[in-house]
């Protein structure tokens, strides 16, 4: 992480949807604020927020980021998706749902990000199953040498919940996942690598959050974030001047 810039952090924030494509995501605006505090003020990313994009417009932004923008002087890139989600990894734009691969696959061919971390964080439900657990109101939601590396190397995907499960959102504070992730990063980024911070995030959500709802199907439920990684080295966010 020794480039001139940390890199872009792009937030696709979906809070409003066309009729039939999802309810208003009350409280999601707090997630955006927390991402700013952790990723811009602490990690020194350059943040851009896109609000309530339709699918076509979202694809155009991804095309710009992956094919047209030069990331040569950046350490990495980071993308957040804050939205509703469904089975098989689908995510909702303002007008339609789409597969998550629409977001990340274009970066397989981004030449100025080869060998650099490509970080994707998804705050969205991944199904309808709730976790009862075992034992407020909430809604669901350094060298110049040339070398060859696998195309899929250096990706990291962070998910708010495991496959097929709900992800909870506090209407007055935002989502459990983003709240915990940003708090852990703000506290530990100078000493922990990213995967250790994601493990601590999972522990925080698992131990300290339980849903409270008038709907019995959503009351006293738990949640566990997950992540997958093809990073080829530990990722420490070295301080930027």
Taking residues 75-88, report their average pLDDT: 93
Nearest to 158 by CA among 88, 208, 229, 104: 229
Q: What is the pLDDT of residue 212?
A: 79
The model's pLDDT over 20-50, given as tens digits with 9 standing for 90+, comes to 888 999 999 999 999 999 999 999 999 999 9
Q: How distant is the alpha carbon of residue 202 from its chain centre?
A: 13
Is residue 151 within 8 Å of 10, Cβ to Cβ?
no
* Catalytic annotation present for 125: yes
Q: Which of 84, 92, 138, 165 is catalytic?
A: 84
Share of the chain above pLDDT 70, in %: 90
pTM of the model: 0.89
Question: Does the pLDDT value for residue 136 go beyond 80?
Answer: no
Question: Can you read off the two tokens belonging to residue 104?
Answer: 């990340």
Q: What is the pLDDT of residue 132?
A: 55
Neighbours of 69 (CB within 10 A): 15
Phi, psi dihedrals of residue 120, rounded to the nearest 5° = -130, 125
Q: What is the pLDDT of residue 80?
A: 98
Taking residues 47-59, report their average pLDDT: 98
Mean pLDDT of the chain: 89
CA distance 94 to 54: 5
Question: Does the pLDDT value for residue 135 go beyond 50?
Answer: no
Q: C-alpha distances in angstroms, 220 versus 106, 136, 143?
A: 39, 12, 51
Question: Does the pLDDT value for residue 127 go beyond 70?
Answer: no
Phi-psi region of 55 (alpha: psi -120 to 50; beta: other; left: phi over 0): alpha
Q: Strands of 5-61 (E only): list them.
A: 8-13, 46-51
Q: Which of 76, 78, 110, 125 is catalytic?
A: 125
Nearest to 183 by CA among 47, 13, 34: 34
The model's pLDDT over 169-190, given as tens digits with 9 standing for 90+, comes to 888 889 999 999 999 999 999 9
Taking residues 71-94, report their average pLDDT: 94
Taking residues 231-239, report their average pLDDT: 96
Determine the angle formed by the axes of helices 194-208 and 176-188, rounding to 10 degrees: 130
Q: C-alpha distances in angstroms, 73 versus 67, 119, 149?
A: 16, 17, 20
Nearest to 159 by CA among 121, 201, 131: 121
Q: What is the pLDDT of residue 88?
A: 80
**Is the C-alpha dihedral spanning 169, 170, 172, 173 positive or negative?**
negative
Q: What is the pLDDT of residue 20?
A: 83
Q: What is the pLDDT of residue 21?
A: 81
Band of pLDDT at residue 140, cut at 50, 70 and 90: low
């Amino acid at each position: 992480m020794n480039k001139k810039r940390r890199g872009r952090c792009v937030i696709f924030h979906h809070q409003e949807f066309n009729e039939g494509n999802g309810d208003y995501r009350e409280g999601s605006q707090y997630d955006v604020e927390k991402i700013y505090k952790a990723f811009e003020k602490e990690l020194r990313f350059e943040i851009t927020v896109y609000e309530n994009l339709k699918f076509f417009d979202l694809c155009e932004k991804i095309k710009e980021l992956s094919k047209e923008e030069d990331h040569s002087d950046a350490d990495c890139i980071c993308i957040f998706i804050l939205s509703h989600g469904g089975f098989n990894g689908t995510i909702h734009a303002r007008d339609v749902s789409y597969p998550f691969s629409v977001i990340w696959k274009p970066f397989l061919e981004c030449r100025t990000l080869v060998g650099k971390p490509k970080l994707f964080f998804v705050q969205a439900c991944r199904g309808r199953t709730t976790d009862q657990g075992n034992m407020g109101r909430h809604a669901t939601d350094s060298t110049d040498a040339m070398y060859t590396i696998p195309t899929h190397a250096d990706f990291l995907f962070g998910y708010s919940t495991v496959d097929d499960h709900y992800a909870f959102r506090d209407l007055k504070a935002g989502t459990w996942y983003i709240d915990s992730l940003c708090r852990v990063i703000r506290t530990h980024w100078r000493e922990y690598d990213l995967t250790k911070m994601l493990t601590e995030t999972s522990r925080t959500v698992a131990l300290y959050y339980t849903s409270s709802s008038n709907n019995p199907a959503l009351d006293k439920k738990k949640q566990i974030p997950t992540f997958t990684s093809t990073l080829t080295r530990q990722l420490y966010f070295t301080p930027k001047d």
